[in-house]
Copies of this chain bind each other. A is one copy, B any other.
Amino acid sequence: MYNFKMSILKNDQGWVRTVALAPPTLQDNTADADRLTGALKIELKTDAVYISFDLLKKLPDLLRKWNYNISCILFKDLNQWILVNITAAENPGPVSGLAVDLGTSRVVLRLLDLLTGNILAESSFDNPQASIGPDVLARIHYAGSEKGLQELNDLIIDGLNQNIVKLCRSGKLNPEQIYLLSVAGNTAMTHLFMGLKPDWIIREPYIPVVNRPGILKAKELKIKVNHLARVVIFPNIGSYFGGDLIAGILFSGINETDDTAILVDVGTNAEVVLGNKNWLIACAGAAGPALEGGVTRMGMMAGPGVIEKIDIDPATGNYKIETIGNLPPKGICGSGVIDLAAGLFNSGMLDIRGKLVPSACGGRIKEKDGIKQLVVVPAKDSGTGTELTISQADFDSLIRSKAAMYTILETIAASVEMSLQELAAFYVGGTFGSFINPESAITIGMLPDLPLASYKPLGNSSLEGASMVLSSRKRLEEIDKIRDKITYLELNVNQDFMNRFSAAKFLPHTNKSLFPSKMPP
């Protein structure tokens, strides 16, 4: 994985500030709250520091208990700082934050030390809303039913609360010691997380309740952490471009570079951002059924025993297979399918249309219900006891997916009159991005023919972005700037798009000059 340097947490970057207040005297009888905000205003160079009513009630006792030497846990919203809570300046105990990647399928948690920026613990769990429906659409429809929204909201909040308890146990702290949370997810997931009606997200003209939820109280969301904790929810651009992507952009840093780069995130949905420090252009979503049923499904299959890498020796036709956990193979995930297709294509076993060439496959082809099947792993080597096959239909689906992907990339680049070959860097996010072999993806023409070093997998960029705002005030401010900078490109599946799509349905492409490294020498 591409090695991003996490910005080192300095006191003046982070959310915790230690303040030694002059105790009150007859000559200086400023009230407790105003004494504290006065000091913070100077310290933070601001004219607005807000203290919640709940904190105000505890303030006089705490200030006196700690002799006016305190650590302040702060957060920032709109034009004002929020004093979230205070602890003793000496031996404050753990002061932690929780970054949440709120995935449609899987939720990933990371506990961070707010003083050092160190990772204390990580865990993940399946989004419990999957019991209602596997995808966004099903859940939004269910939210429209009687108490449906409440049920969906309860599922994710309860799931989160249970997992926070476990995570804290492994991090050896108490949920009460979590003061700040940061949540990045797609627009629908964040709406369900907040209990906001998602009905209009999926109905024309596709309007979220809110683009910029800002800072909320954990208590309002029923999240069981410190009773004064605050939650930042990443903003979205619209119904189909969510906070997870904003987090990804933040983590990739493409919003800060001189050279134009691209960020592609393929999770449950597919999103693309192109830009540099001056401009960002984005498009997202379902570019036809190909991408929906293809890349998307494959990207979700990774798990123990699943084939993630395949190498085929063109000379011998032998398969070299790597599985997750080095277990006997049980299935094949997206990156494995792409490797397989690339290997087959290089060996002449798949033609330029993506059709299996039985004569070249050395007895691995079977036919079932009139559809060709390639035996990837014979029964004797399989982890399931039965042979693992992949059908022509799967390859057809892959071809549509890769063509859709390439077409989206071409379209967004063309919208700013660039070619994909001009890109300085290509960031690949999501689970897909973590496992994909760029060489294979280039071979089949799914990704453009850039130098391999240009490809930078981001890993869980949503989680990383969410973590960053917990370590740095500048990063939190950055997410609104990113949001405001993005121009959203509506992908019109028009004739131009369909022409590009048709040309991209060959391996690697009808126009071979786009893939010079894959041309015969």
Contacts and interface: CB of A to CB of B under 8 A. Distances in A.
Interface of A: 24-26, 28-34, 47-48, 50-51, 53, 56-57, 59-61, 77-80, 194-197, 199-200, 204-214, 216-217, 220, 236, 238-239, 490
Contacts of A50: 77-78, 214
Contact of A34 (B59, B211, B239): B211
A134 to B, nearest CB: 25
Given A31-B211, A57-B197, 18 more contacts: A24-B205, A29-B207, A29-B238, A30-B207, A30-B211, A31-B208, A31-B209, A31-B236, A33-B211, A33-B212, A48-B78, A48-B79, A48-B80, A50-B78, A56-B194, A56-B196, A57-B196, A60-B197
A445 to B, nearest CB: 32
Contacts of A78: 48, 50, 79-80
Contacts of A53: 194, 216-217, 220
B29 A209 contact: no
A489 to B, nearest CB: 13
27 contacts: A26-B205, A31-B209, A31-B236, A31-B238, A32-B208, A33-B211, A33-B212, A34-B210, A34-B211, A47-B79, A48-B80, A50-B78, A50-B214, A53-B194, A53-B216, A53-B217, A56-B194, A56-B196, A56-B209, A56-B213, A57-B196, A59-B210, A60-B197, A60-B200, A60-B209, A61-B197, A80-B80
Given A50-B78, A53-B220, A80-B78, A25 B212 contact: no
* Chief secondary structure at chain A's binding surface: loop
Nearest to A49: B78
A204 B26 contact: yes
Nearest to A214: B50
A56 B210 contact: yes
Top 5 closest A-B pairs, CB basis? A33-B210, A31-B208, A31-B211, A34-B211, A79-B79
A205 B31 CA distance: 10
Given A47-B79, A53-B216, A78-B48, A24 B61 contact: no
A230 to B, nearest CB: 12
Given A216-B53, A238-B29, A207 B80 contact: no
A56 to B, nearest CB: 6
A47 B77 CA distance: 12
A205 B59 CA distance: 17
A204 B211 CA distance: 50
